[in-house]
Structure 1
Amino acid sequence: MSEPYVLETRNLIKEFKGFVAVNDVNLKIRQGDIHALIGPNGAGKTTVFNLLTKFLIPTRGQILYKGEDITSLKSPAIARKGIIRSFQISAVFPHMTALENIRVALQTAEGTSFSFWKSGNSLNKLNERSMELLESVGLAEYANTTTVELAYGRKRALELATTLAMEPELLLLDEPTQGMGSEDVDRVVELVRKAAQGRTVLMVEHNLSVVSKLCDRITVLAQGAVLTEGDYQTVSADPQVREVYMGSDGSGERGVAGAEDDNVEAAQ
């Protein structure tokens, strides 16, 4: 019996005016796994995410979801299939309350986002589910707090809740712990672990501690291509990974600062 892959890429390539940002990438994401995509700055991690969710169009190659070729689909159709992503920068509405942010996400999921002629009271039916989602990320007590007043870690937790409101089957998380202190990182690790129950997660993450705690499988990118793949023990022991990702001494102290170069790629 073949592996139950929920997502595959086959010879995925993205070129920008002759520059190859993603070079013949073959991913196989197993159903129910938490799968990390890691690598140094400019490795192509966020570009791959943008290709999977069709914010960018592949130059060549295929993307398959549950065995179906979705390469030609646009972003809204991708989302309707249950592939939902977060972004490096928190994408919540700053001047709405936490509860209102969740209700907007639930409206989107129900296809009623543009029913502006309805009164605000008509949305109260969504409050119960909204509160359940806020409770799931530890934000129930902040339901009526304006988002701009939330600490950074809680804003990212709220973003995760709005993402879960879309009922994803495949959840794509782009740098979920970026810019966080250790306490917030630990909280988000637990939230991601909880969010992964019953679904598949693909995440870009620079924090090796987070990857080692959470991920079933890891794909390492370097210069737009897959360097190696495996569990954390296998990947972290690979000499090539120790060289290009963690530093030649293998200590991991150099780490990866983020994905700024990937953002440059995605903007081209």
Structure 2
Amino acid sequence: MSQALILETRQLTKEFRGFTAVNAVDLQVTEGQIHALIGPNGAGKTTVFNLLTKYLPPTRGDILYRGKSITKMKSNEIARLGLVRSFQISAVFPQMTVLENVRVALQRTMGNSFHFWKSNKVLNQLNERAMALLESVGLAHYAQHITVELPYGRKRALELATTLAMEPTVMLLDEPTQGMGHEDVDRVVELIRQAAKGRTVLMVEHNLSVVSRLCDKITVLARGAVLAEGDYASVSAHPKVREAYMGSEQATVEGAH
């Protein structure tokens, strides 16, 4: 496994009218690892993701990809570099079939925009690759289903397939198991593990059991700043981390061992 840094932030800061949502965050994501960003509600995790993918401009600080600054780049340019964000609300087209959703995503790798009006003959050329992706996330049998009819956990699997279709180098997963039952969580954990082979993953995740099972490195945020960093054992034993996860979340920290 390579130990080179693939994604890095230096003193990354985001202020909203005097409120500091992200405060001088230094994040170092190692190539080939699964890295989690965790913290209590309001810690700034999603804001960091929005800064990395340029949905928000930083107030101060720098973002580097493979050692080069991408701070001034636009979100579509970031995606073309291979930083692809998944598991956002409405990440798939609900009235299209499962197969059609993956074919639309595959058009990105052909250098096309989303050409909904292309002939079936042209789009059918993508079917083999699309079916292979659906097979990889356990959705081959759902290929002709209308997406809106899928169970929630299967929709998240489809989102992962459409992300993989864009051939990401770094996958940014935003709350991949949010709202899932135990069975769906286990399935998605295994899908992420498979998808991470040969890639780097940065994920925001509330479920600390998922983090403990998947992640090589964990960065804990609290009030917009880095509170602790390390593997799960060291982070979960950190006094300040335990203090940050008081009450019901404290039980989650202890229960995830």
TM-score range, shorter chain: over 0.9
Query: What is the 5 A alignment of 1:33-44?
Result: 33-44=33-44
Contact 1:90 1:159 in 2 (8 A): no
Of the two structures, which has the highest relative contact order with CA contacts closer than 8 Å and spacing of 6 or more?
1
For 1:61, the equivalent position in structure 2 comes to 61
1:165 and 2:165 correspond = yes
Corresponding pairs, count: 254
Is the partner of 1:187 in helix, strand or coil?
helix
Is the partner of 1:56 in helix, strand or coil?
coil
For 1:263, the equivalent position in structure 2 comes to none
Contact 1:90 1:155 in 2 (8 A): no
For 1:76, the equivalent position in structure 2 comes to 76
For 1:259, the equivalent position in structure 2 comes to none
CA deviations on 1:174-210 (whole Å, 9 max, x unpaired) are: 0000000000000000000000000000000000100
Contact 2:104 2:114 in 1 (8 A): no
Query: What is the 5 A alignment of 1:195-234?
Result: 195-234=195-234
Gaps of 5+ in 2: none
For 1:25, the equivalent position in structure 2 comes to 25
Rounded Cα–Cα distance in structure 2 between residues aligned with 1:92 and 1:219: 29
Contact 1:246 1:253 in 2 (8 A): no
CA deviations on 1:27-85 (whole Å, 9 max, x unpaired) are: 00001000000000100000000000000000000000000100000001100100000
Q: CA deviation at 1:121?
A: 1.9
For 1:177, the equivalent position in structure 2 comes to 177
CA deviations on 1:8-41 (whole Å, 9 max, x unpaired) are: 0000000001110000000000010000000001
Rounded Cα–Cα distance in structure 2 between residues aligned with 1:10 and 1:161: 32
CA deviations on 1:138-190 (whole Å, 9 max, x unpaired) are: 00000000001110000000000000000000000000000000000000000
For 2:111, the equivalent position in structure 1 comes to 111
Q: CA deviation at 1:110?
A: 1.8
TM-score normalised per structure 1: 0.91
Rounded Cα–Cα distance in structure 2 between residues aligned with 1:163 and 1:64: 22
CA deviations on 1:91-143 (whole Å, 9 max, x unpaired) are: 11111000000000001232222445531221110000000000000000000
Q: Give the CA RMSD over aligned residues.
A: 1.8
For 2:50, the equivalent position in structure 1 comes to 50
Contact 1:137 1:161 in 2 (8 A): yes
For 2:190, the equivalent position in structure 1 comes to 190
Rounded Cα–Cα distance in structure 2 between residues aligned with 1:39 and 1:29: 17
Gaps of 5+ in 1: 256-268
One-letter code of the match for 2:108? T
Contact 2:86 2:174 in 1 (8 A): yes
Q: CA deviation at 1:248?
A: 9.2
Contact 1:7 1:66 in 2 (8 A): yes
Rounded Cα–Cα distance in structure 2 between residues aligned with 1:249 and 1:203: 19
Contact 1:96 1:147 in 2 (8 A): yes
One-letter code of the match for 2:226? V
One-letter code of the match for 2:22? V
TM-score normalised per structure 2: 0.95
Rounded Cα–Cα distance in structure 2 between residues aligned with 1:51 and 1:187: 29
Label 1:160 to 1:117 Cα distance change in 2 as closer, same or farther (>3 A): closer
For 1:150, the equivalent position in structure 2 comes to 150
Is the partner of 2:251 in helix, strand or coil?
coil
Is the partner of 1:251 in helix, strand or coil?
helix
Rounded Cα–Cα distance in structure 2 between residues aligned with 1:48 and 1:252: 23
